[in-house]
């Protein structure tokens, strides 16, 4: 990305529209942003960052508070930024959330944040996105950097340079991951880990299944031991299968023998059983034949009774017919007598009805006169009702007239009250603008106080951390001295022991020296001064233990010395950080201690609280004023509504008055047509009701008598006809009865019954007849069957003896039990062999699958361990790739750092193995060529750290642009940091930055260092004033 033009309006300290055209600097690669403190230098960076990401460049600045306090309320805040990227030009416009005047009425409303992204092609502007989310996503995709990456690589705000080199390994990994898109390697590692875990779980599951299969084996002869492998268990299982198969063959031969024995026993049993059953049948038949002979006389009697019953059954229909005819004749006589009685009663009732009919027939004229009187009274009733309605309308019209006059007066009074309220509210609305200015002024004070509070809290935390590091340093330093003293004591003791041991050797040698014999040490035959004294008991083991203790103490001391240096370095770095933060408060804090910081912090917090109270009071006043404005607007609308209603009421009153006068005339006319008594509809209605009731009663009575008279005549005629028909039916029925009785008596005379009583005795029911027939037939059939079967069985048993069934049955049972035992053994053996074979097959399949999985796991598991850092370097696959990128970045960074530090410092990637399971490979150290030692980058001074961070940022830009597909880092902005450099370092840094011109890269710097103003000709001068700041390029 290369900046082209920036336009800001009502943004930060800039009230008027400021246009910064970066094309004005021409071929200059570096420009300086200069101006007094608070003029708005960092705001230029904020504007660029806000345009691209919707956020300010620093963490301590809120993008919702970037609106200029110099701007008028009607002047909207806007940022527009043009830049070139990948051969294309873009323009992004952003409008933060801000207040604006309401389109209607007084007061303000909130205008939400907006964003627009345009692509510029051949001078034409094409809208690419108009929603904040779409604009953010499209810009981040095109730039290839998110907000945090942009701040670390392109726009580095105040306080961020040190973090470039002091970030921990994890944070540096996250940055490099996003820049170089190495998540693919992490996915490979996770996939290998996942496959390795799945394979290991599969192998464990297969082992469990093999153990479960082995546990299923019911051993017959062999036994397994705990040390047996799966292969050994399978071999033993094969032996079991072979032995079980042999036993199965022997049992099958025995089964055939037992089957033959059982068949012979069963055949003898069946023959004996049949013969025994035949003897039993013969005995039963003889007994049954004797019983049938005893029943024969009783059956003969039943045969005779059946014959008489059959003869009587032929006469029964004639008797039944006589009974039916007699019943019919008796019923007809009863009905005839009943109709005669009804006729007599009807004749008596009709005589009374005929007399009433004659009387009512003579009152017809009276009924007609009453009907005429009723019609006249109804007409009078309608006239009186009409009069009552007219009076009601007259009363309602009078009420409406009075109500209209009352409403007109009420509306007139309401309008006077509303106008009075409007005058009071207008006074409050006029004070709104002045109160709003006061509110924004207090709000700015609160933000400044909160910013100071936040910085003081950070300073207090850093100071407390420094105190902890000092205490830690004292403890470590004490132990460092103790370990050093221990080494000295052990070394002294070892020297003493070695000297004593040498003395012991000399004394021992002196004891064996003889005059004239050569010394085994020097070869002299003369021994003028041999060693003398007492030997000490010094063993080699004692010497060796002392040496080992000394070596252990030295190793422990070396490790503790490195830890001591690290603690000391951390303390110095923390002290530098505290001093840096203290610079902003050195005028307010005389002595740097916790109590002074706390007092100042409490003071600023009190300021925040007090100013916030003022803000709350002002905000409430503003709300009350806005509420007053809304109320005034509502009252105006209400006044217009009341005026409209008043006009409508006046017109309505005129209409109501005309209607009232017309109804009065109609009432007077109606009164003249009716007498005073006839004007009451209730009295007339009562007359009408009475007459209607009397007339209705007369008419109903006349209709009732007419209907009774006509019904009586018709009833008498109907009864006469019915009586004649009943007499004819009775005669006919009596004749049929006589005929049927003669036929019945004739049938009795021609039958074998001497009298009707004999006939009645012989009669039986149909079911009794059927039972007798069935009983006789069954007896005859049974007798014939028994006699025939008795002859046949007697013939078959001629010469036979009765067999012993129990013995034959016991023989069959014994043979069956033997066969069952053999058969059960065979089934058990077959099940056992089948179970063995299934288990063997399953175990062989599982074993083969396990071996295959184990082979796969050997390769995948090893790769997974290597990829996730389970190796001697504790370096994961992704970190290995990232470390290669970091090496390239350091290579480019060291070219500039070597130049800026006069060949003293070199950034290197630490090769130390991380502790406590952490990952290695991305930690930074600095090599000091003056001492030849490596140390933490945190031990660098402020100026050294700035140069290292600047080199790292420039090196990262070179490598990212070369590797990170599409990411172009043609612009770099730095906010402060050069003030920590001495004159020589500053010259070296400037020379290094001037080299960027060859790579066509643009660098913007914010700094107050005078030497930079002299060295850098292109300057963006920020000039503050009471009406807001202004920005313009100057060249000198």
Written as one string, the DSSP assignment of 720-760 is HHHHHHHHHHHHHHHHHHHHHHHHHHHHHHHSS-SSHHHHH
The token duo for 630 is: 């809304």
Over residues 939-947, the mean pLDDT reads: 79
Share of the chain above pLDDT 90, in %: 5
In a domain, 855, yes or no: no
pLDDT in tens, 187-229: 888 888 888 888 888 888 888 888 888 888 888 777 878 778 8
Helix (H/G/I), strand (E/B), else coil: 86: coil
Q: Does position 162 have pLDDT exceeding 60, yes or no?
A: no
Pairing type for strands 124-129 and 114-121 reads antiparallel
To the nearest whole number, what is the mean pLDDT of the chain?
A: 80
Over residues 782-793, the mean pLDDT reads: 83
pLDDT in tens, 43-63: 888 899 899 988 886 655 554
Q: What is the predicted pLDDT for the residue at 211?
A: 83
Over residues 319-338, the mean pLDDT reads: 81
Q: Does position 529 have pLDDT exceeding 70, yes or no?
A: no
How far is it, in rounded angstroms, from Cα 663 to Cα 580? 101
In a domain, 1026, yes or no: yes
Q: What is the predicted pLDDT for the residue at 282?
A: 80
The token duo for 406 is: 């009352």
Pairing type for strands 1030-1035 and 1018-1023 reads antiparallel
Q: Which domain holds residue 411?
A: 384-498+548-675
Over residues 369-391, the mean pLDDT reads: 77
How far is it, in rounded angstroms, from Cα 482 to Cα 495? 20
The token duo for 860 is: 């995948």
Over residues 12-29, the mean pLDDT reads: 88
Pairing type for strands 88-95 and 78-85 reads antiparallel
Phi-psi region of 40 (alpha: psi -120 to 50; beta: other; left: phi over 0): left
Domain boundary among 675, 690, 708: 675
Give the pLDDT band (50/70/90) at residue 6: very high
How far is it, in rounded angstroms, from Cα 731 to Cα 332? 9
Between the alpha carbon of residue 325 and those of residues 328, 517, 734, 740, 873, the distances in Å are 5, 184, 8, 8, 132
The phi, psi pair for 79, rounded to 5°, reads -130, 130
In a domain, 87, yes or no: yes
In a domain, 1022, yes or no: yes
Q: Does position 967 have pLDDT exceeding 70, yes or no?
A: no
Q: Does position 657 have pLDDT exceeding 60, yes or no?
A: yes
Judged by average pLDDT, the poorest of 243-252, 645-654, 667-676 is 667-676
Over residues 250-272, the mean pLDDT reads: 83
Domain boundary among 617, 642, 675: 675
Domain boundary among 651, 675, 699: 675
Q: What is the predicted pLDDT for the residue at 64?
A: 54
Helix (H/G/I), strand (E/B), else coil: 144: coil
Nearest CA among 661, 717, 11, 644 for reference residue 343:
717
Give the pLDDT band (50/70/90) at residue 521: low
E strand or H helix at 2: strand 2-9
Q: What is the predicted pLDDT for the residue at 516?
A: 67
In a domain, 759, yes or no: no
State the alpha helices, DSSP H only, in 532-593.
540-582
Judged by average pLDDT, the poorest of 493-507, 546-560, 888-902 is 493-507
pLDDT in tens, 717-762: 888 888 888 888 878 887 887 887 787 777 777 777 777 777 777 7
The burial of 70, by beta-carbon neighbours within 10 Å (0-12 exposed, 13-18 middle, 19 or more buried), is given as middle
Over residues 234-254, the mean pLDDT reads: 84
Tell the residue number behind the tokens 């919702």, with chain if given: 64
Q: Does position 496 have pLDDT exceeding 60, yes or no?
A: yes
Judged by average pLDDT, the poorest of 896-900, 995-999, 1029-1033 is 995-999
Over residues 786-812, the mean pLDDT reads: 80
The phi, psi pair for 519, rounded to 5°, reads -75, 135
Between the alpha carbon of residue 41 and those of residues 34, 589, 973, 1022, the distances in Å are 7, 27, 12, 7
Q: Does position 791 have pLDDT exceeding 80, yes or no?
A: yes
Q: What is the DSSP secondary structure assignment for residue 1016, as one 8-state letter?
A: -
CATH number of the domain that residue 30 is part of: 3.40.50.300
Q: Does position 305 have pLDDT exceeding 70, yes or no?
A: yes
Judged by average pLDDT, the poorest of 155-164, 406-415, 555-564, 694-703 is 155-164
In a domain, 911, yes or no: no
Q: Does position 426 have pLDDT exceeding 70, yes or no?
A: yes
Q: Does position 483 have pLDDT exceeding 60, yes or no?
A: yes
Over residues 262-288, the mean pLDDT reads: 81
Q: Per the structure, how many domains does the chain have? A: 2
In a domain, 942, yes or no: no
Beta-carbon contacts of 188 under 8 Å, excluding residues fewer than 6 positions away, are 867, 877
Q: What is the predicted pLDDT for the residue at 21?
A: 92
Share of the chain above pLDDT 70, in %: 90
Give the pLDDT band (50/70/90) at residue 19: very high
Q: What is the predicted pLDDT for the residue at 156?
A: 66
Phi-psi region of 8 (alpha: psi -120 to 50; beta: other; left: phi over 0): beta
Q: Does position 832 have pLDDT exceeding 80, yes or no?
A: yes
Pairing type for strands 1002-1006 and 971-975 reads parallel
Q: What is the predicted pLDDT for the residue at 895?
A: 86
For 150-197, the DSSP string reads HHHHTEE-TT-HHHHHHS-HHHHHHHHHHHHTTHHHHHHHHHHHHHHH
Give the pLDDT band (50/70/90) at residue 640: confident
Nearest CA among 196, 156, 937 for reference residue 576:
937
């Amino acid at each position: 990305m290369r900046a082209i033009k920036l336009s800001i309006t009502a943004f930060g300290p800039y009230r008027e529209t400021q246009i910064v055209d970066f094309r004005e600097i021409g071929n200059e690669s570096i420009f300086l942003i200069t101006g007094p403190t608070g003029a708005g230098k960092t705001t230029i960076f904020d504007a660029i960052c806000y345009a691209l990401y919707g956020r300010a460049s620093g963490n301590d600045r809120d993008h919702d508070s970037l609106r200029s306090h110099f701007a008028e309320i009607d002047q909207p805040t806007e940022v527009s930024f043009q830049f070139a990227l990948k051969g294309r030009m873009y323009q992004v416009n952003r409008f933060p959330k801000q207040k604006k005047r309401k389109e209607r009425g007084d007061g303000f409303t909130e205008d939400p944040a907006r964003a627009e992204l345009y692509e510029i092609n051949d001078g034409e502007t094409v809208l690419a996105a108009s929603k904040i989310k779409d604009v953010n996503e499209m810009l981040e995709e095109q730039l290839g950097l998110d907000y945090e990456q942009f701040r670390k690589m392109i726009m580095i705000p105040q306080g961020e340079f040190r973090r470039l080199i002091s970030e921990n390994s994890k944070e540096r990994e996250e940055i490099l991951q996003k820049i170089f898109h190495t998540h693919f390697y992490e996915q490979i590692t996770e996939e290998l880990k996942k496959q390795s875990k799945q394979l290991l779980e599969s192998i464990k599951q297969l082992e469990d299944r093999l153990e479960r299969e082995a546990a299923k084996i019911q051993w017959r002869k062999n036994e397994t031991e705990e040390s047996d492998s799966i292969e050994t268990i399978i071999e033993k299982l094969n032996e079991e299968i072979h032995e079980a198969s042999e036993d199965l063959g022997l049992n099958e031969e025995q089964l055939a023998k037992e089957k033959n024995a059982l068949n012979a026993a069963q055949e003898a049993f069946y023959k004996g059983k049949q013969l025994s059953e035949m003897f039993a049948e013969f005995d039963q038949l003889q007994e049954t034949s004797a019983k049938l002979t005893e029943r024969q006389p009783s059956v003969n009697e039943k045969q005779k009774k059946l014959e008489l019953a059959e003869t009587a059954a032929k006469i029964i229909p004639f008797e039944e017919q006589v009974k039916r005819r007699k019943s019919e004749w008796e019923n007809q006589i009863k009905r005839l007598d009943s109709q005669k009685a009804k006729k007599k009663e009807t004749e008596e009732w009709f005589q009374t009805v005929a007399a009433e009919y004659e009387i009512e027939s003579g009152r017809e004229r009276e009924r007609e006169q009453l009907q005429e009187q009723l019609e006249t009274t109804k007409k009078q009733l309608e006239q009186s009702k009409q009069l009552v309605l007219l009076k009601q309308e007259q009363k309602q019209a009078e009420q409406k007239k009075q109500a209209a006059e009352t409403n007109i007066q009420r509306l007139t009074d309401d309008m006077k009250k509303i106008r009075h309220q409007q005058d009071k509210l207008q006074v409050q609305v006029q004070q709104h603008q002045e109160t709003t200015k006061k509110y924004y002024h207090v709000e700015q004070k609160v933000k400044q106080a909160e910013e100071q509070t936040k910085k003081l809290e950070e300073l207090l935390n850093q100071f407390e951390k420094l105190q902890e590091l000092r205490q830690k340093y004292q403890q470590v330093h004490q132990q460092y001295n103790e370990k050093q003293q221990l080494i000295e004591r052990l070394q002294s003791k070892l020297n003493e022991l070695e000297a004593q041991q040498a003395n012991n050797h000399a004394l021992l040698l002196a004891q064996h020296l003889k005059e004239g014999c050569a010394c085994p040490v020097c070869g002299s035959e003369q021994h003028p001064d041999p060693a003398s004294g007492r030997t000490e008991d010094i063993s080699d083991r004692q010497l060796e233990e002392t040496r080992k203790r000394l070596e252990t103490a030295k190793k422990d001391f070396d490790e503790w010395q490195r830890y001591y240096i690290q603690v000391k370095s951390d303390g110095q770095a923390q002290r530098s950080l505290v001093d840096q933060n203290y610079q902003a408060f050195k005028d307010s804090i005389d002595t740097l201690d916790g109590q002074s910081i706390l007092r100042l912090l409490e003071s600023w917090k009190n300021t925040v609280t007090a100013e916030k109270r003022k803000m709350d009071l002002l905000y409430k006043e503003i709300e009350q004023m806005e509420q007053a404005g809304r109320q005034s607007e509502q009252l105006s609308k209400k006044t217009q509504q009341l005026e409209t209603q008043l006009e409508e009421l006046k017109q309505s009153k005129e209409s109501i008055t005309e209607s009232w006068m017309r109804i009065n005339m109609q009432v007077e006319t109606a009164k003249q047509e009716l007498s005073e008594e006839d004007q009451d509809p209730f009295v007339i209605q009562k007359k009408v009701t009475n007459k209607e009731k009397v007339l209705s009663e007369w008419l109903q009575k006349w209709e009732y008598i007419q209907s009774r008279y006509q019904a009586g005549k018709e009833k008498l005629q109907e009864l006469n006809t019915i009586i004649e028909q009943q007499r004819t039916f009775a005669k006919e029925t009596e004749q049929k009865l006589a005929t049927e009785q003669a036929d019945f008596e004739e049938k009795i005379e021609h039958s074998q019954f001497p009298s009707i009583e004999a006939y009645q005795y012989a009669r039986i029911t149909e079911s009794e007849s059927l039972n007798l027939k069935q009983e006789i037939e069954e007896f005859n059939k049974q007798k014939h069957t028994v006699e025939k079967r008795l002859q046949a069985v007697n013939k078959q048993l001629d010469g036979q003896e009765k067999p012993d069934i129990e013995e034959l049955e016991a023989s069959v049972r014994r043979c069956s039990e033997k066969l069952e035992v053999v058969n059960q053994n065979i089934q058990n053996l077959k099940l056992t062999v089948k179970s063995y074979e299934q288990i063997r097959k399953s175990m062989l399949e599982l074993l083969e699958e396990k071996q295959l999985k184990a082979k796969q796991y050997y390769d995948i598991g090893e790769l997974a361990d290597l990829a996730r850092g389970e190796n001697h370097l504790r370096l994961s696959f992704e970190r290995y790739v990232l470390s290669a990128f970091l090496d390239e970045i350091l290579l480019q960074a060291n070219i500039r750092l070597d130049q800026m530090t006069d060949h003293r410092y070199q950034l290197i990637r630490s090769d130390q193995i991380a502790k406590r399971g952490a990952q290695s490979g991305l930690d930074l150290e600095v090599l000091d060529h003056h001492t030849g030692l490596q140390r933490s980058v945190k031990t660098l001074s402020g100026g050294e750290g700035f140069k290292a961070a600047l080199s790292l940022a420039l090196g990262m830009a070179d490598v990212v642009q070369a590797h990170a597909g599409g990411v172009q880092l043609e612009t770099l902005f730095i906010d402060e940091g050069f003030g920590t450099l001495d004159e020589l370092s500053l010259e070296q840094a400037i020379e290094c930055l001037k080299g960027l011109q060859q790579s066509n890269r643009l660098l913007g710097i914010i700094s107050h260092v005078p030497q930079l103003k002299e060295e850098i000709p292109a300057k963006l001068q920020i000039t503050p004033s009471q009406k807001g700041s202004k920005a313009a390029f100057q060249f000198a």
